[in-house]
Every structure is written in structure tokens, then in C-alpha cells.
Amino acid sequence: MGSLVVDLMHKLLSLRWERPVIILDGLDECGAQEELRSLMKLVLILDELPPAFAVLVSCRPESSVVSAWVRARAQGLVIPCEDMDTVAEEENFHTIHRMVEEGLQDCIDNSSWKPSKEEVDAFVSACRGLPIIASIRVRDVSFQTCRGATLRSEFEYFRDLIDAPEDINKEYLRVLRRAYMVGSSGVRKHTAKKYRQVVATINAAFEPLSVFFISQLSGIAEEEVLAILDPIRSIVDLPSKLDLEHSSESLPESPPESSSEEVQGVKFYHATMKEFIMGDPIGDENDKVFFITDANQYFLGLPLLRFFNNSCEQDVFGFPTVPPLGDEERWSNLPKREHYHPYLLRYARHDQYAQPSQLFAQGSNLQNEFNTFLTQNLVTFMHLAPIGEQYKGFPDGFDEFKVNKIVVSRLF
């Protein structure tokens, strides 16, 4: 923080910026409480910036953040804070009103029916003073009116809601019920199974995955993945149409010219959605299907390793497999696909998915895949390590494979 930020900004200030502003958004999403406490120590170092700088921090009032502000104030630092939950009711209503008016402007312009001022006010009031609910409902109306619903029917739907949501968790439940419930019978079994596979994959990934990759890991066709996620587009950010056209192209012959052409990943609009799904179930018996508390990040270990092994078998990476493997000319003629390797492999190689005590508890399937990896594909794995990174052996806990490890080491 000192050398890369504070010192550098002191030097850059000579460029005569008018008013530099640093924005730190979502600190509460940066790890567990212990990690957040360490992070706050770095954040407070920003007080050493030149006086011309302003730092805006936005986050939920986690205890680690609040206690850091209290300690800093006790040391004489002036840190003005505003609790958005205590914003004046009139100001909050005005903010949500603007969100609704601007967010639904296209829908209103394209509709023969126009909501009255009173109807818009009622729509805004039904958002319970929560901008996050307003943003969800604006997207909900926009998606529904593109799929055959009318603007009038959508306003009437929200006006006539039974057991209208009072908080964000109940709003998430409303969206899921509307998307998947079939009358009083609940969610169809085949829909529930696919929902749990797809959403659990999104939850467990440590960064957004493409529709193609979600399809590969879950074993569900891309169109079925989209069919599961499309009804909940108000809470799930799906790729644009252009991205979807390229999602089935696993590894084109040549990499894109810039990172801006990379396939967009699927993610939740709000971190609170993930917390909701992994939290204690609410609602009735039929609603329990929406909550995924029995699938953590380790359940991706088997499908990730299987995906990697299959990619090696299909010669996706294009590495020579017939001796002499050290022929420099053969390696120099390989397609330049390095751009794709990090995206494909950072999941299969990530420590979060390679904890033996968790992985091998799942049964023999993963052990069989790992044996395949050791005996057939470890050479490819090691060649795909980032430039300058040395292979350091297997993660702690894989001692049971030391015989294979010795055999593999002799290949080099």
C-alpha cells in the first residue's frame, strides 16, 4: 500500500489533477472477518495520501469495518460516515422514484398504457424503501414485457401481491417462486434438479463462469442452462446475445486481440443473493428446493478434473505427445492458445478445489479421475504452468500418491 499506492500518488500529484477520488466499493465482500480486519489496516494507510485526495468507502456495516473506524477516530482521524439505513424517508423515496422512472422509461415509451403518478408512487412504495428491491423489480418488469407481458399487467402484478415482500430475502423468494413454481404443486423435479446443479456451480465458482463452462461442469446442455437462468434474469446477470453466440466455442484457433472480447461470465447482481441461497431456508416446505446448503466449493473438484482430463484427451492444448518431446521446432509451431490456458486451468489448479480431506470424502470417482491425471495428463498440466512458475509438487495431503509422484518425476 505504501510503495504501490501512497508513494506513487504523491508523485502523480505533480500532474495537477483537480480532485483525485479513490472509491473502494464492497469491502464487506472481501473475505471473512479475519481477512477483513487485515484489509482495514491497509485501508487506513490511505490517510497518508496527499490532502488533495478523497477516499470514498462503500460497504455494509460489518463489525470489522465499524471497529476499524472507531479505532481510527480514537487516534484523531476524521472519518465522516453515513448510514444509508437512516437516510431520511423523503430522500430515500425520491431516490427510488428516480430509479423506477428512469429504469422503466423505455417500457413506458413502448406501451400504449401509461401508469399514472399515483400508480408509479404505489410501485415505488412497494419497494419497501430498499433500492436493491427497486433495481430487481425494474429488471423484472423489463424482462417480462419483452416476453409477452404488458406493462399494465406487470404493475397490477406488483400491486396485487399476496404476502408482499418486506425485505430483500423475501424478494428473492418471490422471484424464484414466480420463475419456477407451478401452482400449489411446487417446482417440477427435473427443473429443481437442474436449478440446483446450475446455481450450485455459480455459487461455488471463485469467479464468474461462462455459460459454456457451466454447461461442461454441470453436464447440462447450454440451452438448458439458459432455460434455467432466463426466468430469474432480474437477479442473475446473464451474458449478452453476442456473448451467447460465442459461448459454445471452447477454444477458437486464435485468441482474441484484446481481453474485452473474452466471454462474459454469469454472476448474481447482488452478493446478498448468494448469501440468501446458502442461508437458512425461509418460506414453506415447497420453498426448500431453492436453498443450497449441502454443496460447497469442493463439489466442483470432480467435474473440474474430469473437464481437464477430457480436454487433454481431445488434444485441446495441442502439445506434442509423440517423442521426441524436446523437439524445439515442433513446440514453436504450436497454435498460440496461451491466452485461453489461464481461464481453463485456474479452476482445475486452484487450491480451493484441491483439499484432499474434502475431495476424496466424495467417493472413488474423484480418486479415479486423479489417477488418470497423474498417469496421463500431468505432463500437460506442468507445461501449462504460468511462465516463471516452477512446479512445486502436489498439495499437502496427497502423500498416498507418492509412488505415482516418483514415477512421474522420472519422466523429466
Q: Average pLDDT in the 292-314 region?
A: 72
- How wide is the angle at C-alpha 244 spanned by C-alphas 240 and 247, nearest 5°? 135
355 pLDDT higher than 80: no
Identify the three-state secondary structure at position 237: strand
Dump pLDDT digits (tens) for 213-232.
899 888 899 999 999 999 99
8 Å CB contact between 318 and 251? no
CA distances for 108 relative to 5, 104, 114, 139, 145, angstroms: 46, 6, 6, 14, 10
383 pLDDT higher than 70: no
Q: Angle of helix 211-218 relative to helix 222-229, nearest 10 degrees?
A: 110
101 pLDDT higher than 80: yes
Confidence of residue 389 (pLDDT cuts 50, 70, 90): very low
**The predicted structure's pLDDT at residue 381:** 55
Phi, psi values for residue 22, rounded to 5°? -110, 125
**The predicted structure's pLDDT at residue 376:** 62
Q: Which residues contact 249 (CB under 8 A, 6 or more apart)?
A: 212
Q: Which residues contact 293 (CB under 8 A, 6 or more apart)?
A: 278, 279, 280, 281
407 pLDDT higher than 50: no
113 pLDDT higher than 70: yes
Dump pLDDT digits (tens) for 23-71.
999 888 887 788 888 999 999 999 888 888 889 998 888 888 889 999 9
| Domain ranges across the chain | 2-81, 89-164, 187-294, 298-410
- 38 CB burial (10 A radius; 0-12, 13-18, 19+): exposed
**The predicted structure's pLDDT at residue 14:** 66
Asked if the bond preceding 324 is cis, omega within 30° of 0, the reply is: yes
- pTM of the predicted protein model: 0.70
What is d(CA 371, CA 354) in angstroms, rounded to the nearest whole number? 14
Q: Pick the range with the lowest mean pLDDT from 143-147, 192-196, 407-411.
A: 407-411
Q: Average pLDDT in the 112-137 region?
A: 94
Percentage of the chain exceeding pLDDT 90? 36
8 Å CB contact between 381 and 344? no
Q: Average pLDDT in the 108-129 region?
A: 94
255 pLDDT higher than 80: no
Confidence of residue 183 (pLDDT cuts 50, 70, 90): confident
Higher local confidence (pLDDT), 337 or 220: 220
Q: Average pLDDT in the 161-190 region?
A: 91
Dump pLDDT digits (tens) for 72-99.
999 988 888 888 777 777 888 999 999 9
**The predicted structure's pLDDT at residue 392:** 46
**The predicted structure's pLDDT at residue 244:** 52
8 Å CB contact between 309 and 373? yes
